[in-house]
Structure 1
Amino acid sequence: MYEIKERVRYSEVRENGKMGLLGIVNLLQDCSTFHSHDVGMSIERVLELKRAWLLSAWDIQVFAFPALYEEITVGTSPHLFRGIFAYRNFWIKNKDGEYLVKADSEWFCIDTEKGRPQKITEELVEPFGKPQDVLHLPPLQRKITFPEGWQAGQDFPVPREYLDTNHHMNNARYIALSEELLFQSSGRPAFSFSEENKKESMEPFGIRAEYLKAYTLGDSIFPRIAIEEDRKVVAFYNQNKELCCHVEIRKIPKM
């Protein structure tokens, strides 16, 4: 298990004074990057071993948005290694220890020389210690179905600022774009499921993302948008009509 203390910065909040989905997902990704670095398995070290980790799926639960000045704890814990896949829990807690965000994620290991998936070796994961299932979340469901009724969004090229160190569009950007595209389509926040509630007050909601093919510089983004009663889905295609990612924002049933 690994945790870092943070404070919500002005540069991370939106016009309502709270962090958006881009900021939340960036915090989670940064936490795992720091964890890997601090145990001696930084991005650079893994590349020396001719390996890389690529994200294939997110399952995120958002209970509240971190607010400007708020003191938070961001944490992560690998909880399962199996074949080519690794699974990581993530969380964000407030200063009272209450969960603002819980998440699970699926990653896979690739051989950077051969460009194909590679079984995880002990050398890659031993520095992280024994896997810990901190959150005890249900098994991650990777496959996202796309509704038949959808509308096409405006296509646009991948900006250079969207790229990460793998020269791919950063995974957090797909989720942030989905939030914006859904707002543009409906005039309501992506996480709002009530016709009466068009403001940014919220009930807990979930986000799932399924990554299939990475955008790179020179690609164009062709989004498709679908809105149902309890979920909203954005599909991202490239100029070759290849599906790159599905993002689903869904209502969490009340217990």
Structure 2
Amino acid sequence: MNYSFNSRVRYSETGEDGRLTLPGALNYFQDCCTFQAESIGLGMEVLKARDRAWFLSSWQVIVDEYPAMGTEIKITTAPYDFKGFMGMRNFTIETADGRLLAWANSNWTNLIISKGIPARLTPADTDNYVLSKKMEMDYAPRKISLPDDMISQEPFQVQKHHLDTNHHVNNCQYICMAEDFLPEKFKVYQMRAEYKMQAKLGDMICPKTKVESGKVVVSLDDEKGKPYAIVELAEK
């Protein structure tokens, strides 16, 4: 079953152009599925008591139009499949009159918090959800191939403001890190992200980048070269 909430684009969610940023859109999506989980009795505290949590495995997000500050919007999420230890969700952002601005697909892994390993889904995890029909969109592969000849960038350390309630770098923070390597006036139409490991406070992020025509790929690695997250940003 779809779940929606209404909002208005705030000044604090906009960039230099006065429009909602890509991280702002991602935060709306994340808030929407969190609100749905709370509304059906499967919120964070309930999952935590069972030593469970949902972690994002991958994003595919398309933003056709970034709404301006003050725009009335509706954010919707629709879980459409559970399989093994994975859950799949679509998202949309629309104007008040129903014009589609952004849409997304996402894959989530149910983890045992204390062990950091996937947990096979049970009725306790899924029965409160009513699945929706999978959205019609051009689905990209979940995995992102790294191009050759990526260029190493200056490493930096994970700070407190990067963390979320799970004490790991929040999924949206990796996108913010990747956006720092975009060329001037690069407008993201499609963002894909693949999350591989969880970075914690004090860990070093060692970025590698490749700028191609209309596309930038960023691998955010640990000090041994293993990626925490891979992000692909593409123009229309």
TM-score scaled to structure 1, two decimals? Answer: 0.88
| Structure 2 residue aligned with 1:209 | 193
| Structure 1 residue aligned with 2:142 | 142
Q: Is 1:244 aligned to 2:228, yes or no?
A: yes
- Identity between Structure 1 and Structure 2 (%): 34
SS at match of 1:14: coil
Structure 2 gap ranges (5+): none
SS at match of 1:224: strand
Letter of the aligned partner of 1:99 in structure 2? L
> Residues of 2 paired with 1:49 and 1:32: CA distance?
19
Letter of the aligned partner of 2:218 in structure 1? V
| Structure 2 residue aligned with 1:15 | 16
> Residues of 1 paired with 2:48 and 2:60: CA distance?
27
> Residues of 2 paired with 1:139 and 1:67: CA distance?
27
> Residues of 1 paired with 2:66 and 2:184: CA distance?
20
Structure 1 gap ranges (5+): 192-204
Q: 2:185 aligns with which of 167, 185, 188?
A: 188
Letter of the aligned partner of 2:6 in structure 1? K
Structure 1 residue 136 displacement after superposition: 2.4
| Structure 1 residue aligned with 2:55 | 54
Structure 1 residue 228 displacement after superposition: 1.4
Question: Contact 1:179–1:190 (CA<8 Å) still a contact in 2?
Answer: no
TM-score scaled to structure 2, two decimals? Answer: 0.95
Post-superposition CA distance 1:88-141 (Å, at most 9, x none): 101100112111110000001112243311111111111122x10252234551
| Structure 2 residue aligned with 1:39 | 40
Question: What's the C-alpha RMSD, in Å, of the aligned pairs?
Answer: 1.4
Post-superposition CA distance 1:6-26 (Å, at most 9, x none): 001111111211111111111
> Residues of 1 paired with 2:213 and 2:124: CA distance?
46
Q: What does residue range 44-193 of structure 1 map to in structure 2 within 5 Å?
A: 44-129=45-130, 131-133=131-133, 135-139=135-139, 141-182=141-182, 186-189=183-186, 191=188
Question: Contact 1:53–1:108 (CA<8 Å) still a contact in 2?
Answer: yes
Letter of the aligned partner of 2:186 in structure 1? P
Question: Contact 1:13–1:68 (CA<8 Å) still a contact in 2?
Answer: yes
| Structure 1 residue aligned with 2:215 | 231
Question: Contact 1:89–1:133 (CA<8 Å) still a contact in 2?
Answer: no
Post-superposition CA distance 1:25-69 (Å, at most 9, x none): 111101111110111100110111221111100011110112100
- Go from structure 1 to structure 2 and tell me whether the alpha carbon gap of 1:43 and 1:168 turns closer, same or farther (over 3 Å shift): same
Question: Contact 1:19–1:66 (CA<8 Å) still a contact in 2?
Answer: yes
> Residues of 2 paired with 1:70 and 1:90: CA distance?
18
Structure 1 residue 154 displacement after superposition: 1.7
